[in-house]
A and B are shown apart, each in its own frame.
Chain A
Amino acid sequence: MALNGVLRPGFVQVRVLDMAEAIVHYRDRIGLTLVSTESDGRVYMKAYDEFDRHSIVLRECDEAGLDLMAFKVCSEASLDDFATKLAAGGYEVTTVAAGEQPGVGRRISFMAPTGHRFDLYAEIELSDNGPMTNNPDVSQLDPQGMKAIRFDHCLLYGGDIDGTKKVFEEILGFSISEMVVDDDTGMIIALFLTCSNKAHDLALVRHEEDGKLHHVSFLVEDWSSIGAAADIITRYDVSRDIGPTRHGITRGMTIYFFDPSGNRNEVFAGGYHYYPDNPLRVWKASSVGKAIFYYERELNDRFMTVVT
């Protein structure tokens, strides 16, 4: 498979209640680098192994949650092509001018049926301290905190996940790697979408309220990194949700916790590689405990219902 069209999750813009606390959390605990603070107050960050300028944008607001998730596409031509196809599919596509975020080129933006705003862009400046390319060491800056390697994916909650599935599958070229379905009706309850070789780049769960954020996830190296993250979570009294544990879905090893504004974060490692010829993996809702938490084999209420 040659990777074309949508390449990967590029950045998320997250609302935080208190910027000073958020910076400590994302920089010192998760280990992101603070790239810049702009005149409108937004703070831009990146993980140490990302080439692009930023991947996490924090915006102070009196309400927590997600402003938007953006995917990087392979070219300006591809961006135009997606704009045309989205419009033809009945989506209202708006253009965000280059420079609305520092270093980011023109974006196109649409609202998905689950009430989430997604942006696409092709151009973003390279970071000054991304991965080395000349006789490259494993890192240029010493990884800090939980040593997040990259922003990896989001899980979002909303009503019409069938509708969002349709736009991502039919227009943006994503594949479904796994899903959870109701035992009797077959209704999709949870959906794992990939535009790449990863087990998921975006996940969706059916929920009565639209536009909700379940978590923003960061990749870490391995199982011992999850343990090290757990130590940091206790050492600095970070609000923990669940883990260390493992997912049946994607097989990722994981720990979940909350940022100081209540937005859920995950650091995870491992999981399988996906290829577009892989058969769809399906979980029945009656086995969802094992699907989500492979070791506990049962869900906790907080994980299922707490969103921002």
Chain B
Amino acid sequence: MGKAAFRVSVEGSDKVITCLADETLLKAMARQGISNIPVGCRNGGCGVCKIRVTKGEYETGKMSIKHVTQVERDDGYALACKAFPKSDLTVTVKNEE
């Protein structure tokens, strides 16, 4: 039995990220040599890899409230470095810069 793998589409990019069940979206992206989401601290502090999930299920680890407010969290915003896909996803990059 292999680990569940989910496919993550990033709007505006034709590269699809394959993400293992226990893997963050950003780590999966980097592992596959893809760079359609900006990489910052990779640990939920800097906000560079901010995305909005427009389709699919996911869970998140701890993220700096400064970069993803509670209202935004309820609205699908997350940091890709702290997002664990639980189904296939469609996401949009929301880099604050």
Q: Mark B6-33, 1 if CB is under 8 A from A, else 0.
A: 0000000000000000000000000000
Q: Residue on B with the closest CB to A25?
A: B43
A239/B43 in contact, CB under 8 A: yes
Query: A302 in the interface, Cβ–Cβ < 8 Å?
Result: yes
Query: B41 in the interface, Cβ–Cβ < 8 Å?
Result: yes
Across-interface contacts of A171 in B (CB, < 8 A):
none
Across-interface contacts of B44 in A (CB, < 8 A):
17, 64, 261-262
- How many Å from the CB of B71 to the closest CB on chain A? 14
Q: Mark A6-36, 1 if CB is under 8 A from B, else 0.
A: 0000000000011000000000000000000
CA–CA, A308 and B46, complex, Å? 5
Q: How many residues of B contact A (CB 8 A)?
A: 15
Across-interface contacts of B97 in A (CB, < 8 A):
305
Interface positions of B from 77 to 97, Cβ below 8 Å from A: 97
Across-interface contacts of B46 in A (CB, < 8 A):
64, 262, 306-308
Query: A63 in the interface, Cβ–Cβ < 8 Å?
Result: yes
B64/A239 in contact, CB under 8 A: no
A261/B43 in contact, CB under 8 A: yes
- How many Å from the CB of A205 to the closest CB on chain B? 15
Q: How many residues of A contact B (CB 8 A)?
A: 19
CA–CA, A17 and B65, complex, Å? 10
B41/A306 in contact, CB under 8 A: yes
Across-interface contacts of B53 in A (CB, < 8 A):
none
Interface positions of A from 276 to 308, Cβ below 8 Å from B: 302, 305-308
B41/A239 in contact, CB under 8 A: yes
CA–CA, A282 and B61, complex, Å? 43
B41/A264 in contact, CB under 8 A: yes
Across-interface contacts of B41 in A (CB, < 8 A):
239, 258, 262-264, 306, 308
Contact of B63 among A17, A65, A260, A264 (CB under 8 A): A17
Interface positions of A from 224 to 283, Cβ below 8 Å from B: 239, 258-264
Interface positions of B from 22 to 66, Cβ below 8 Å from A: 39-46, 48, 62-66
CA–CA, A198 and B15, complex, Å? 48
A260/B43 in contact, CB under 8 A: yes
A258/B65 in contact, CB under 8 A: no
Query: A62 in the interface, Cβ–Cβ < 8 Å?
Result: yes
Q: Residue on B with the closest CB to A212?
A: B46
Contact of B42 among A18, A239, A305 (CB under 8 A): A239
Most central of A258, A262, A263, A302 by chain B CB within 10 Å: A262
Q: Residue on B with the closest CB to A301?
A: B38
A305/B48 in contact, CB under 8 A: yes
- How many Å from the CB of B61 to the closest CB on chain A? 8
A17/B62 in contact, CB under 8 A: yes
Most central of B42, B45, B62 by chain A CB within 10 Å: B45
28 contacts between A and B (CB under 8 A): A17-B44, A17-B45, A17-B62, A17-B64, A18-B62, A62-B62, A62-B64, A63-B65, A64-B66, A65-B45, A65-B64, A258-B41, A258-B42, A258-B43, A258-B45, A259-B43, A261-B44, A261-B45, A262-B41, A262-B43, A262-B45, A262-B46, A263-B41, A302-B40, A302-B48, A305-B40, A308-B41, A308-B45
Apart from A18-B62, A261-B45, what are 13 other A-B pairs with CB-CB below 8 Å?
A17-B62, A64-B45, A64-B46, A258-B42, A259-B43, A260-B43, A261-B44, A261-B62, A262-B40, A263-B41, A302-B40, A302-B48, A305-B48
The 5 closest A-B pairs by CB, nearest first: A262-B45, A262-B41, A64-B45, A239-B42, A262-B43
Residues of A within 8 A of B (CB): 17-18, 62-65, 239, 258-264, 302, 305-308
Residues of B within 8 A of A (CB): 39-46, 48, 62-66, 97
